[in-house]
Structure formats: C-alpha cells, structure tokens
Chains A and B, each alone.
Chain A
Amino acid sequence: MDLATVTARLLKLATKVSDEVGSIISNPELDARMDRVPANLGPYGVDPFGFDPEYLKKCMGMVSWIYHNYFRCQVFGVANVPEGRCLLVGNHSGQLPFDAAMVSTAVFLEREPPRFVRSMIERFVPDTPFISTFMARCGQILGTPENCRRVLSNGDAILVFPEGVGGLNKTWRDRYRLQEFGQGFMRLAIETASPIVPVAVIGAEEQAPTFINAKFIGKLFGVPAFPITPTNPLLPVVGLLPYPTRYRIYFGKPLQFTGDANDEDEVILKKVDEVKATMQAMIDDGLAAREHVFW
C-alpha cells in the first residue's frame, strides 16, 4: 500500500468522523422533529415546568447518537403509544437509568407524529447542582403525585417505573424478574382516566451485570446504591459506563382501568398485578426472541 492510498483512506475516515461529530453537535433533521412536538411554551421560551425545547435540541444529537450507534435500539409497537395523556409503564434496570432516556427517545424518533415523554426524576435530583437544571430544561419533572396529575391533565405522556430503584439497582440473580410494584401509578391512571402503555426493555439488564449492591459504600458518597460489577470499582468511573448491549424496546397495547382511585390496597393491587403480568409476559417473549445480547 503506497502513501497516496493511505492518505486517501485516512482523509475519508476523517471526513466520516467529522460528519458524525457534526451530526451530534447540530442535526437539522432532529431540530425539525423537535419543532413538531407540541409544547406549551410561555412568552420566554420555556414551559411552566422549565422545559426548554431549544436546550433539548442541543442534547438530542448526542442522545440520538447513543440510541442509534451505542445501544442500537430496536423498537417494536411504538404506534401503540396513543395521542393524549398516557402513562408509559416500564421495567427498570441497568444501574444507571439509560433505559428511561432510550424509551423517551424511541417515542420521539420512531413514532409518527413524534411525542415528547416526560420521565419522573428522583427526589435527590432537585437538590443536586447542574443536574437539577439539566433535567428541568430537558422537561423532566420531580416524581410527586401532584406533578404527575398536572402533566397528565395537560394531555402529556409520562414514563414511570413502578419498581423504582428496587428495579434499577437489582443484582444479576434477579435479571428480567419484575420487582415489587408501587401502587401510585395505578391510582393516578384511574384518577385521570389515562391509558397505561406497558413497556418492556430488553438489553438494559446486561449493560451493568451486578454481583452485589454494596449499599454501605453508596451511603458514603450519598447515592442510593453502589453496584459491584465486573468492571466497577476495578476501573474507577469508566467501570460504571454501560456495556454496549443491544436494546430491544417493546410497546404493548394500551390498558384502560376504571374504578375508584382511592380504593383499598387490595383492589388496586389486583389491577397492578394485571399490568405486571402483562409486562412480565412481554419481557419473557422478548427474551425468547433475542439471539444475542450484543447484536
């Protein structure tokens, strides 16, 4: 191979890389999509919850790159996400909540017309500098029942994980087994007459296989968990990055529940179990259909 071909190849590679980087920094296609998402903006470019579409546009290039090139998400049944208010209910896993970002991105990128899904953030976030502002400008809201009620009554879609951190930080032993569900989401769905869309994420579980969760170390750093994985804490910080597994995201048919939102726990739990069973079945089907974890 002579010098000329090597230079030509290197140049080609360089243009490819710069194109890729360019599309991460600014992507007119994504911007146009974002403009099609209905938002209730005030006169100052933000909605009452602090969501700023112009800010999100700047992040979307990066997120969409991760979505396409890192996790290489495959999406099934995204048309099941209806118009108007709805609750997307998903299984939570993977130590770091990339699954939330990928589900929202899937609805944004793959659904026609695109929808913006808000996720509910943990209570410690508003107290954390930079992250609090970042989350708010990206349209994420603190997960209080009052906030959910308000967003749903505005006709928005929200993403909830009834397992909470119990699902996110579970260990390898419990992979793809749904943990205990909270009831709050069901009471909200009944109260606001919102359909529930079950969502199953396959692949997030393997991004950070956890032997044990050393909570006491997490406590020292003020975080709710400290997963011991093959790379964490052997490789500091880098070891916490998710492995590039392939995500498969399944959206199920919307479920509608009726009744009294303030009913006894027993009655509500029955309905919660119905959702849980649907999701577990979707997860099991997804696992059976998968041939390889990484591709």
Chain B
Amino acid sequence: MRILITGIAGRLGRRVANRLRRNHEVIGIDRRPCPALPTDIVHHRVDIRRRPAEDVFRHAKIDAVIHLGIIHNFRIPAEQLHARNVMGTETLLKYVSKYNVKKLVLLSSGDVYGASAENSQFIDEDVPLMASQRFPEIRALVAVDRMVQSFFWRHHDIETVILRPTFIVGPNVRNAPSKYFRLRVIPTLMGFDPMVQLLHEDDLLRMLDASLKPGLRGVFNLAGTAPVPLSRILKILGKPTIPVPAPIARALLERAWKYRLTSFPAPELDHIRYNTVLDTSRAKEVLGIEPERSLYEILEPFRAEDQADYTD
C-alpha cells in the first residue's frame, strides 16, 4: 500500500513512518524540514494548503492517508491555529475524494469530548463533542474531528477512520500529560482525584497500524490502561505533590500562561479535576489490539530517580 503521512516531521510522524515503511511505501508531507529520514521515504516539504500539495496526489496513486498534521500548540494565535488545522484538513479532504484515496485515518484526540462534571463515567464514541464549551482554544481540533465525521457520512466509498486516543504518554512525547508527569513537584487539585487512563505511544502506533486494515472504518476511542485514580499514578511516580485549591490553581495558571511562564493553558486543569474515561470497547472488538504496556511500564521513565522498585 502507498501511504501518505501528513505532519511526518513531528515526533509521532517519524515514528509512524518508520514503523509503516517495513510493509508499505511511505510518502511524507509537512511544511517543516524532515532530516534523517530513511532514503525509501519520500518527503515533500510543502504546506498542505498550497497548490504544490496537489501534485503529490496527482503524481502518485495514494492508497491511504494518515492525517497527523494537526497542531496542538495553543501558544499559536487562534486565527493561525484555525487556518492551519481547519483549512489544512479541508484541503486534504478535497484531495482524498478527488484522487480516489481508499482510506483516510485521522488522529484526533479524546480531549474533544471535554472534561466536565456532567460527563457520564464512560464516554463512548457517540457522546457529543463538548470540549470547546470550557476550553475555547481547543475548538479548531473539535472542528477538524467534526469535519472528518461529516466526510465519513458523505463518502461511503472511502474508508474513514477517526481515532480518539486518551492521554498519550511516552518518553518521546511532549504533550500536556507527559509534561505534567515530568514535573519535579507535581501540583494536584485539592480534593479532586479523577479516574484517568493512559496510552503508551508504542501501543498507539500498533493501533494506528491496525486501523489500516482493509474494510475497517468508524470512530474509535483508544486507551491503554484500565481507568485508575490519578493519586495512584502519582504514588507510582513517587514524586512530591502539592495540593492546590482549584480556584487558586486556575487563577495562578491563567496569570502564568499570560506571562508565558508555563506551557499549560488553564483549562487543562479540568483533566486533573474531572473523570475523562473513554469507553474503548468498540476499539477492542474491531481493532483487536490488546495494549502491551502496563501502567508501571508506561510510568517508568517518569518516576523519581532515587526510587526503589515500586511495590504496592
């Protein structure tokens, strides 16, 4: 199969490319340079919204597109974030239908449901995407997910897959949860101890690979570990924690974000306040991938250095 990966220059993009090139022909597209790629991977350094991107589709018959080129950095001004994520995806969808690509895989995020006190304990794939309600910065990501969903309904001949993983954690990952676990002293919200799931980046790669199976389509929540209280995770990490009353934490983080002292936007606090447990039964049944990494393995790189082996 010839697979096009958007956002190949990112940390995840490279890992996906390296994994897929064993069985497939991989083409990359990214506006950033992507040095040190294996020679059998062709990289096109072009913005997906620009005209030359169409040539990539025109010149090579592409069988599948994996859309990873979505920016999660909320420091980028809202207009730019919107233009690059939403317009980029719109252009990509146009090419996918115009050049008869058989398969489209979007790596969305479990964040699109939104963390809130009103959520049921388990969030399945049919729950409305409410994230922008409390976290306006995330609306571009929600818009991308919705757009691909409606694409799924309009194009029955194209196998569209939307993956919504829970918190992805791993030694190479630099998202909010991984950065949170890397802190030397970990702040928590006083009196809140939500249930969370984690997903190791290696397991995500295996699930992404499995979603390429011919005939497979649909929306899938992904998670690696069973839900566990945040406090147990912090106990395994063995790092000092400081409980902060929620309103104070929010006020402090808002200021810190404004003056660029932190990389966590204040609404991220909802993720350590409310349950965000995804119902992953559909993925288990259809993708058929059992996660390999246990909670202890996932957390190993983040643990305090002077810790003895963890025993419960």
Contacts and interface: CB of A to CB of B under 8 A. Distances in A.
B147 interface: no
Contact of A129 (B120, B192, B226): B192
A146 B277 CA distance: 13
A141 B118 CA distance: 11
A249 B247 CA distance: 42
Contact of B117 (A43, A123, A150): A123
B165 to A, nearest CB: 18
A136 B191 CA distance: 12
Interface stretch (B13-21, B69-77, B227-235): B227-235
The range of chain B's interface size is: 20 to 34
Chain A binding surface, main DSSP class: loop
B99 interface: no
Interface string B264-302: 000000000011010000000000000000010000000
Nearest to B294: A43
B229 A146 contact: no
B245 A129 contact: yes
B122 A129 contact: no
B122 A44 contact: no
Given A142-B121, A146-B120, A147-B120, A129 B189 contact: yes
A142 B229 CA distance: 16
Contacts, number: 68
B121 A133 contact: no
A150 B191 contact: no
Given A126-B275, A129-B190, A44 B226 contact: yes
Interface stretch (A45-53, A201-209, A238-246): A45-53
B226 A42 contact: yes
Interface in A122-147: 123-124, 126-133, 136, 141-142, 144, 146-147
9 contacts: A45-B232, A46-B195, A124-B117, A126-B117, A126-B118, A128-B191, A129-B245, A133-B192, A133-B193
Given A132-B192, A136-B193, 9 more contacts: A44-B226, A44-B232, A46-B228, A48-B277, A49-B121, A50-B121, A126-B275, A131-B191, A133-B193
